[in-house]
Structure formats: structure tokens, C-alpha cells
């Protein structure tokens, strides 16, 4: 008889037990609140690790609120690491990951006492949409070790405070993402289809990727375009960079730098990776005191062959790919 599906739903309270005092030597470990090895756990209640004693500094007796080693945890509730007996401050991790690939989905309203620690190899953090718009604080400081951070389709999230993407980490916006504080680091911010990223704060990740193969409107709103040092890649048709508060009426592209001009005077610049020319860009007023930057497809001569004709997509990167396809043999 098989009844179980490996699904755990918690709307109540789950708590690990307190560790033993250990007669003044090494205290016993506190109990994990929930240990997950596969399946799916959905928490809208409270999960907390037990408390522990600490007689010497090397004696880490505290455990995590949730330990996950494979599977998915979706939470809109409270998850708390263990606390030292007699003290109110939480020291244990809120969520700790094992070696198996695991996913933590945070919904609006979720709270954590203690840090969230991925294992830096294969764990995914999802910013969910089940409870509407959410705010995430501590990315890169109290939330670390994720190789992929993904916003759910059509979700709305705000990054507050200082956020950092470590090298090898990609944050994929898939709805509306407001960078209200500062977002930096050696990682990548990726825009997928039909997405708006609003950088009201400082945006200085190593790379901003518009997604070479992603189709659909993608808009990057830069409230402080002069402070952006990220290298932007795959900027192509249907993409827009809104340069808030920056008036420009001309561009010049050379050596990977797009210089924005106001009556032939440089007023800003962006680093763009790709085989562009100045003619690939157009500027229009954003109707809010700033300027919209868009990509202009290069005019391509119609290619004729014995098998019909095709038109090259307006994408310099795609142009490069197509250059390897022998003409006159149909291509795709």
C-alpha cells in the first residue's frame, strides 16, 4: 500500500529538540526542525531548531531550522535556527543545504532567523509569486551559496539593502525585479522574456545578460546610469534600456563602450559586449525626463539561394552564428 507522496505541509509548529547539556563538556547537538531528503515541503507555519548549550567556543551545539539534501522547500512562514540555552540570539543556520541539488522557494512574508547557506555547487533559490510582491534582504550576506537565483514567471520582487552575486551565480529576472538598494558582485544578472528590471539603486554586477535566445520585451531601467559599470551582453531587438534622468541625442560605439552624447558632448557610457556599431542604437525620449536606448537591426541584403530566401535576425550574436552556415544550402 502506498499512500505517501513525500509532501509535507506545515501550518503549525515543528521544532527540534534541545541538545543535552553534556555535563559541562561538549554539549549535545540540538535537533534540526525539519530534515528533508527529497520530496516537497511547504511551510506556512513555524519551523525551528532546538536550543543547545555551549560550554566552550569550539562546541557548536546548534543545528539548522531546516536541513535539505535533495527536494524542494517552499516557505512563507518562519524558519529559525537553534539558539543557545539561556540566550535569545539565534546562532544556528535557518536553512542549510546538503550536497544533493535542492531548491528553496521563498514567498512574500517568509521570515528567517539565522542565515541561509547553499553548498555553492547546485542549489537554487526561487523568488516565488504565490503571495504576491515580496522583498528580499541579505542576498550575498545572510543568503549565500546558490548557483542559481530565479524569479518566478511574472513575480514581483524588490532587492533591498546591499545584495551581492558571487562569481558563478546567475540571478534570473522573470517578472518585475526592483533593485532598491545596491546589487553588485562577480555574478550575472539575466533578463528573460517579458521582464522589467528597475535599478533604483546601484547596479554593478559583473555582467547583465539580456539573453541571446530570449524573445519578448525586456526592459532595464537604470535610475543611476552613470554609476553602472556592468558589462551588458546580448542586447538586441525588443530590448530597452531606460536611462532615467539622462538626456541624450546621440551615441558613439567603440571598443565595447557605448558613449551617450548630448549635442556631441558625452553625458554617460555603458559597457556592451558584442559586435555593434553606432548605427545599431537609437535613442528616444522616455517621456519621463530621460532617454530610452534601443537596438536597431542592421539592414541585411536579402540572401538568395536555390532553396528560397531567408532574412537574418537583427542580432549581432546571431549574425555570427549564421556566418558559419554555408549560403545556398538552406540554413535552418
Cα separations in angstroms, 283 against 246, 249, 251, 276, 299: 11, 6, 8, 15, 18
Is 5 a binding residue for other proteins by CB under 8 A? The answer is yes
Is 33 one of the binding residues for other proteins (CB under 8 A)? yes
Report the nearest approach of other proteins to the CB of residue 55 (Å).
Answer: 10
Return the closest-CA partner of residue 213 out of 310, 313, 325: 313
Question: Of the candidates 54, 63, 76, 240, which one interacts with other proteins according to CB under 8 A?
Answer: 63
Q: Confirm or reject binding of residue 229 to other proteins (CB under 8 A).
A: no
**What is the SS3 assignment for 215?**
coil
145 binds other proteins (CB under 8 A): no
Q: How many residues bind other proteins (CB under 8 A)?
A: 56
The residue among 32 and 221 lying less far from other proteins, judged by its C-beta, is 32
Q: Does residue 238 contact residue 216 with C-beta atoms inside 8 Å?
A: yes
The answer to the question of residue 211 lying near other proteins (CB under 8 A) is no
Distance (Å, whole) CA 221 – CA 262: 19
Is residue 52 a contact residue for other proteins (CB under 8 A)? yes
Residue from 23, 58, 167, 329 touching other proteins (CB under 8 A): that is: 23
Q: Which element (helix H / strand E) includes 191?
A: strand 182-191
Answer yes or no whether residue 21 interacts with other proteins by CB under 8 A: yes
Q: Does 250 bind other proteins (CB under 8 A)?
A: no
φ and ψ at residue 173, rounded to 5 degrees: -85, 135
The phi, psi pair for 331, rounded to 5°, reads: 65, -115
Restricted to residues 97-136, the positions that interact with other proteins (CB under 8 A) are 98-100
266 within 8 A of 248, measured Cβ to Cβ:
no
Cβ–Cβ < 8 Å for 199, 170 = no
Residue 67 to residue 49: CA distance in whole angstroms = 10
Stretch that binds other proteins, among 12-20, 143-151, 255-263, 290-298 (CB under 8 A): 12-20
Among 15, 151, 190, 239, binds other proteins (CB under 8 A): 15
Summarize as ranges the residues that interact with other proteins (CB under 8 A).
Answer: 1-23, 25-41, 45, 47-48, 50, 52, 60, 63-64, 67, 69-71, 96, 98-100
Amino acid at each position: 500500500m502506498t499512500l505517501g507522496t513525500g509532501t509535507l505541509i506545515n501550518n503549525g509548529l515543528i521544532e527540534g529538540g534541545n541538545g543535552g547539556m553534556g555535563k559541562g563538556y561538549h554539549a549535545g547537538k540540538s535537533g534540526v526542525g525539519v530534515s528533508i531528503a527529497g520530496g516537497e515541503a511547504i511551510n506556512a507555519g513555524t519551523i525551528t531548531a532546538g536550543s543547545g548549550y555551549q560550554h566552550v567556543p569550539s562546541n557548536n551545539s546548534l543545528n539548522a531550522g531546516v536541513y535539505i539534501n535533495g527536494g524542494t522547500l517552499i516557505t512563507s512562514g518562519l524558519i529559525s535556527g537553534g539558539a543557545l540555552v539561556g540566550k535569545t540570539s539565534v546562532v544556528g543556520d535557518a536553512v542549510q543545504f546538503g550536497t544533493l541539488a535542492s531548491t528553496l522557494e521563498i514567498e512574500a512574508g517568509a521570515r528567517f532567523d539565522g542565515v541561509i547557506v547553499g553548498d555553492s555547487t547546485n542549489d537554487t533559490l526561487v523568488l516565488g509569486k504565490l503571495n504576491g510582491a515580496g522583498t528580499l534582504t541579505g542576498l550575498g550576506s545572510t543568503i549565500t551559496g546558490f548557483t542559481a537565483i530565479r524569479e518566478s514567471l511574472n513575480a514581483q520582487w524588490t532587492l533591498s539593502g546591499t545584495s551581492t552575486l558571487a562569481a558563478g551565480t546567475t540571478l534570473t529576472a522573470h517578472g518585475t525585479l526592483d533593485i532598491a538598494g545596491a546589487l553588485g558582485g562577480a555574478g550575472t544578472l539575466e533578463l528573460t522574456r517579458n521582464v522589467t528590471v528597475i535599478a533604483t539603486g546601484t547596479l554593478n554586477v559583473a555582467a547583465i545578460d539580456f539573453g541571446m535566445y530570449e524573445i519578448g520585451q525586456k526592459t532595464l531601467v537604470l535610475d543611476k546610469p552613470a554609476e553602472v559599470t556592468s558589462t551588458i551582453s546580448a542586447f538586441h531587438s525588443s530590448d530597452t534600456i531606460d536611462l532615467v534622468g539622462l538626456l541624450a541625442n546621440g551615441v558613439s560605439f567603440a571598443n565595447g563602450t557605448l558613449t551617450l552624447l548630448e549635442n556631441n558632448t558625452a553625458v554617460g557610457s555603458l559597457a556592451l559586449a558584442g559586435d555593434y556599431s553606432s548605427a545599431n542604437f537609437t535613442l528616444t525620449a522616455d517621456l519621463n525626463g530621460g532617454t530610452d536606448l534601443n537596438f536597431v537591426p542592421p539592414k541585411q541584403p536579402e540572401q538568395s539561394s536555390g532553396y528560397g530566401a531567408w532574412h537574418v535576425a537583427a542580432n549581432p550574436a546571431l549574425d555570427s552564428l549564421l556566418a558559419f552556415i554555408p549560403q545556398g544550402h538552406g540554413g535552418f
